[in-house]
Amino acid sequence: MDIEELSSVAVLGAGIMGSGIAQIFAQTGFEVWLYSRTEETLQNAIKKIEHNQETLVANNALSPETAREALRRISTTTDLVEAVDGVDLVNENLPEQLELKQEVFENLGEISLPETLLTTDTSGLSITEIAERTSHPGRVAGMHWWNPPHIVPLVEIVRGESTTDQTVKTLYTLLEKLGKKPVVVKKDVPGFIGNRLQSAIFREILYLLENEVAEPEDIDVVMKYGPGFRYSAIGPVQTMDLAGLDTVVSVSDYLFKEHDRSTKPNRLLKKLVKEGKLGAKTGSGLYEYTEEALARIIRERDEKFIQVLRNNREDQEH
């Protein structure tokens, strides 16, 4: 399917990711069907989209007119057949359960048009395995967005073993049209690129916390004003080149053997989960949260993300 022919999208799953993805498609002019099994989830998703848009409008990143028009392009349904009927692209955002996704994609292969592109927003499950029951695995690919998807530019396009070149090419062009920064993951490895890097960082952070090397606040400061500050302008691969690969070898020689080699979730992490301290959604995790504090954190996060996004776009234009 040619990129100019794409005009309608079905987003399956109306949580944080699904609502944000539906929003960005609608704001770019696509007709969107947003699907969930419950009407309550769909109503909450529309409220979430409206809240997202309020933040964007307040920061001059979206016009009120575009926001209103986008909302009119979003239709909601609890009927999967209705959601995917005649659409050009499906983006699935259901829970990270392989069997569930396989069943959904097997069904999609039967109820969608033969040319409809089928994408999954899995964080790291095998695209090949998700697509193996579909009648057209060549049109299945991973399309891994990052939270919040209506702001964060990166989207990873992940090839399964049967994904066609045309599918990848079309998705790449589509994401550029959405104002995103697509990358192609050439091999279907667990975690793709971003989550492999992120999970490696998480493992070291949890090691430092468990061994009382530093407080959570100080670790966040290190990442925000050290590596994170630097990586927003220059990536880690080029950072190695600028440091000198001989220097990287020397540091690796004494530091690699000191890294945490755990192959299972950290004990501190499992302890907190067992105690019901799941993070922001329960009010307690590695930090403590009140409803007011959490709302402020998310608002300030999104405002900072918008500013970073604006700066990046200005840099690209010059």
19 belongs to the catalytic site: no
In the set 59, 75, 162, 195, the catalytic residue is 195
Query: β-strand 140-145 against 154-159: which pairing, if any?
Result: antiparallel
With CA atoms as reference, report the closest residue to 23 among 49, 48, 42, 45.
49
The secondary structure of 59-127, three-state, reads CCCCCHHHHHHHHHCEEEECCHHHHHCCCCEEEECCCCCHHHHHHHHHHHHHHCCCCCEEEECCCCCCH
In the set 19, 91, 112, 156, the catalytic residue is 156
Contacts of 240 (CB under 8 A, 6+ apart): 248
**Which strands, in side-by-side order, build the sheet including 74-77?**
74-77, 31-35, 8-12, 89-92, 117-120, 140-145, 154-159, 181-185
The token duo for 306 is 């918008």
In the set 19, 92, 112, 144, the catalytic residue is 144
Render the burial of 156-186: b for 16+ CB within 10 Å, e for the rest: bbbbbebbbeebbebbbebbeebebebbebe
195 belongs to the catalytic site: yes
In the set 36, 123, 136, 150, the catalytic residue is 123
156 belongs to the catalytic site: yes
> Strands (DSSP E) along 152-242, which ranges?
154-159, 181-185
59 belongs to the catalytic site: no
Report, as residue numbers or ranges, the catalytic residues: 123, 144, 156, 195
